[in-house]
């Protein structure tokens, strides 16, 4: 299929998924395993909608999605095309009406990121990228900031149910505090990476993410000039969970605190 039409189709599916999120009225909330790990009926509805719409659009692709038991990566997924979907990234924000929450759709080709779309329906901001073709926010080209970390905001994420990662996460955040202007935590990893991509902040890290959290946003960030690695500077995994460190163009080196934790 023609690249432009495919990307447009993915963007239109993301817009419609955003509408489903905004129309939801007090959705039922279910608990998953671990502390404060939630899913709502809207997460499931959005994922079902996206799989239906995207499989009509691009029937040859496989799917990996966070919900509905579609969350297991198999070796056959490293070949051909694979949509990696997080129907709602920022589910706790969604439940408490504490925006942002976003729809995240990554398309992998032969195991590498090929297209990425992240949509925040509350601010009507759509981020998109195709490998090698730059990153865009609502059709405007974006570039990460070239300010040093000392003149920038930093952001980080941590899931409440990964209790074993708390000390390391907050130690790093504490260490970064003196090296940047201030630190934020939004509650959505895909949004955080898009914020680094669009120059709002210059560094984002998280000690453990799933592929659907970053498949789309890591491409958007790298196409905007960010360096996206794990927290030790190694390449991100595109077949399973990974830590993540996204640095804007102005943050040349990995701060030392990452190697101490
Ligand atoms: C979570 C968000 C959060 C991050 C967690 C993710 P979910 O995704 O991205 O910012 O800290 O690690 O699991 O559960 O809202 O889709
Ligand atoms: Ca997520
Ligand atoms: Ca999710």
Q: How far apart are CA 229 and CA 5, in angstroms?
A: 30
Structure confidence at residue 13 (pLDDT) = 98
Residues 94, 115, single domain; the answer is: yes
Neighbours of ion ligand 3 (CB under 5 A): 66, 86, 88
Instruction: Tell me if 65 CB under 6 Å of ligand 1.
Output: no
Backbone torsion region of residue 111, taken as left when φ is above 0, otherwise alpha when ψ lies between -120 and 50, otherwise beta: left
β 227-229/242-247 pair status: antiparallel
H helix count then E strand count, the chain: 7, 14
Residues 209, 225, single domain; the answer is: yes
Residues 249, 182, single domain; the answer is: yes
Ligand nearest to the CA of 37: 1
Instruction: Tell me if 209 CB under 6 Å of ligand 1.
Output: yes
Give the CA angle between residues 256, 238, 51 to the nearest 5°. Answer: 135
Residues 184, 157, single domain; the answer is: yes
Residues 167, 242, single domain; the answer is: yes
Instruction: Tell me if 135 CB under 6 Å of ligand 1.
Output: no
Residues 111, 11, single domain; the answer is: yes
Residues 160, 137, single domain; the answer is: no
The domain in which residue 232 lies consists of 149-260
Give the mean model confidence (pLDDT) for residues 60-69.
94
Pocket test for ligand 1, best of 40, 90, 98, 231 (most atoms within 8 A of CB): 90
Read off the pLDDT band of 210 (50, 70, 90): very high
Structure confidence at residue 68 (pLDDT) = 84
Residue-wise pLDDT for 81-96, tens only, equals 999 999 999 999 999 9
Structure confidence at residue 177 (pLDDT) = 97
Q: What percent of the chain has pLDDT over 70?
A: 100
Instruction: Tell me if 89 CB under 6 Å of ligand 1.
Output: yes
Residues 56, 86, single domain; the answer is: yes
Q: Can you give the CATH number for the domain in which 15 is found?
A: 3.30.540.10
Residue where a domain terminates, one of 83, 116, 141: 141
CB 142 within 8 A of CB 157: no
Say yes or no to pLDDT of 252 above 80: yes
Structure confidence at residue 55 (pLDDT) = 98
Using the atom order of ligand 1, give the atom closest to the CA of residue 93: 15
Structure confidence at residue 1 (pLDDT) = 73
Instruction: Tell me if 243 CB under 6 Å of ligand 1.
Output: no
Residue where a domain terminates, one of 91, 106, 141: 141
Q: Can you give the CATH number for the domain in which 220 is found?
A: 3.40.190.80
Give the mean model confidence (pLDDT) for residues 107-111.
97
Give the mean model confidence (pLDDT) for residues 235-249.
97
Q: Separation of 120 CA from ligand 1 center, angstroms? A: 15
Residues 119, 7, single domain; the answer is: yes
Read off the pLDDT band of 36 (50, 70, 90): confident
Structure confidence at residue 33 (pLDDT) = 82
Residues 52, 167, single domain; the answer is: no
Ligand nearest to the CA of 47: 3
Helix-, strand-, coil-residue percentages of the chain, each rounded to 5: 35, 30, 40
SS (H, E, C) 59-111: CCCEEEECCCCCCCCCHHHHCCEEEEEEEEECHHHHHCCCCCCEEEEEEEECC
Total Cβ atoms within 10 A of residue 159? 22
Domain count, the chain: 2
Q: Which of 22, 184, 192, 18 is nearest to 97 (CA)?
A: 22
For ligand 1, atom 13, which residue shows the shortest CA distance?
159
Read off the pLDDT band of 202 (50, 70, 90): very high
Distances from the Cα of 118 to the Cα of 66, 70, 128, 200, 214, angstroms: 15, 20, 6, 16, 10
Q: Separation of 135 CA from ligand 3 center, angstroms? A: 23
Residues 17, 112, single domain; the answer is: yes
Residue where a domain terminates, one of 141, 168, 197: 141
Give the mean model confidence (pLDDT) for residues 234-248.
97
Q: How far apart are CA 42 and CA 4, in angstroms?
A: 29
Residue-wise pLDDT for 112-166, tens only, equals 999 999 999 999 999 999 999 999 999 999 999 999 999 999 999 999 999 999 9
Residues 220, 117, single domain; the answer is: no
Residue-wise pLDDT for 156-193, tens only, equals 999 999 999 999 999 999 999 999 999 999 999 999 99
């Amino acid at each position: 299929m023609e690249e432009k039409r495919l990307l447009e189709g993915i963007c239109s599916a993301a817009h419609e998924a955003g509408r489903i999120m905004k129309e939801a009225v007090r959705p039922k909330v279910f608990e998953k395993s671990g502390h404060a790990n939630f899913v709502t009926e809207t997460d499931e509805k959005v994922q079902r909608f996206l799989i239906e719409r995207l499989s009509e659009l691009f029937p040859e692709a496989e799917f990996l999605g966070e919900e509905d038991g579609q969350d297991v990566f198999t070796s056959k997924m490293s070949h051909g095309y694979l949509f990696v979907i997080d129907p709602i990234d920022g589910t706790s924000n969604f439940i408490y009406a504490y925006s942002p929450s976003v729809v995240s759709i990554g398309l992998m080709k032969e195991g590498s990121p090929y297209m990425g779309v992240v949509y925040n329906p509350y601010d009507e901001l759509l981020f998109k990228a195709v490998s090698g073709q730059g990153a865009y926010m609502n059709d405007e080209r974006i570039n990460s900031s070239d300010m040093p970390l000392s003149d920038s905001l930093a952001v980080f994420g941590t899931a409440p149910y990964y209790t074993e990662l708390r000390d390391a996460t907050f130690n790093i955040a504490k260490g970064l505090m003196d090296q940047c202007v201030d630190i934020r935590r939004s509650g959505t990893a895909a949004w955080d990476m898009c914020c680094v991509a669009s120059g709002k902040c210059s560094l984002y890290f998280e000690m453990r993410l799933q592929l659907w959290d970053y498949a789309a946003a890591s491409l958007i960030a790298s196409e905007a000039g960010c360096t996206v690695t794990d927290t030790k500077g190694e390449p991100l995994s595109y077949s399973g969970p990974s830590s993540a460190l996204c640095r804007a163009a102005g943050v040349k080196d990995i701060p030392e605190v990452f190697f101490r934790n």
